[in-house]
Amino acid sequence: MVIPVDHLENLGSQKTTYVTERPNSGILETFKSPFKMDQGATVDITFPEFSSLCPKTGQPDFASIVIEYCPRELCVESKSLKLYFFAWRQEGCFMEEITERIKNDLVEVLNPWWLRVQGQFNPRGATTLWPHVLWYHPEWEFKT
């Protein structure tokens, strides 16, 4: 199977544009999944250099973002995902909202069978917070 890549703008380009504000799903690029739509394949991604800002104090928050999903027709292109994460660096947002927004943006562009996002945020004020969200496609069939 040859996966078309002509539509990808960031991967392999000699000029990368780094968006440093307003993270949104428009930054994310996708490609046709090489997996069969039998709900058996998963993709696991960890981005250990995530950062954002506390919306109240402006102090930086650091995290590893862990994504797991079962593709239906599309996979997320990793360089565009990295650029999407970079866009969060100046965003003032609570950790729970960050996790939810990442989930929503990925569901919007991928429409996977299911998706899980976990924000493994570094401790602040002696408290560790790791919010995670799950999303299931309405047609997803749980198999035992």
Is 75 marked active-site? Answer: no
Euclidean distance between CA atoms 91 and 53, whole angstroms? 6
Concerning whether 54 is annotated as a catalytic residue, the answer is: yes
Residue type at 8 in one-letter notation: L
61, 70, 75, 105: the active-site residue? 61
**Catalytic residue, candidates 38, 44, 54, 105:** 54
Active site residues: 54, 61
